[in-house]
Amino acid sequence: MSLAILGGTGKEGQGLAMRWARAGRQILLGSREREKAERVAAELNENLTKLGALNELGELNGPAVRGMSNRDVAQEGEILISTLPHAGHIEILSSLKAEIAGKLLITATIAWPPGRLDVPSAGEEARDALGTSARVVAAFQTVSAGTLQTMDSDHQEDVLICSDDKEAAETTRRLVDETGLRGILAGPLERARLMEAITGFLLKINRRYGVKSTGIRITGIEGK
Q: For the chain, what is the HEC assignment?
A: CCEEEECCCCHHHHHHHHHHHHCCCCEEEEECCHHHHHHHHHHHHHHHHHHCHHHHHCCCCCCCEEEEEHHHHHHHCCEEEECCCHHHHHHHHHHCHHHHCCEEEEECCCCCCCCCCCCCCHHHHHHHHHHHHEEEEECCCCCCHHHHHHCCCCCCCEEEEEECCHHHHHHHHHHHHHCCCEEEECCCHHHHHHHHHHHHHHHHHHHHHCCCCCCCCCCCCCCC
CA distance 51 to 28: 20
Architecture of the structural domain at 3-209: 3-Layer(aba) Sandwich (3.40)
Model confidence pLDDT, tens digit, residues 38-76: 999 999 999 988 877 654 444 445 689 999 999 999 999
The predicted structure's pLDDT at residue 5: 98
Model confidence pLDDT, tens digit, residues 68-119: 999 999 999 999 999 999 999 999 999 999 999 999 999 999 998 877 788 8
| Domains of the chain by residue range | 3-209
The predicted structure's pLDDT at residue 1: 77
The predicted structure's pLDDT at residue 212: 86
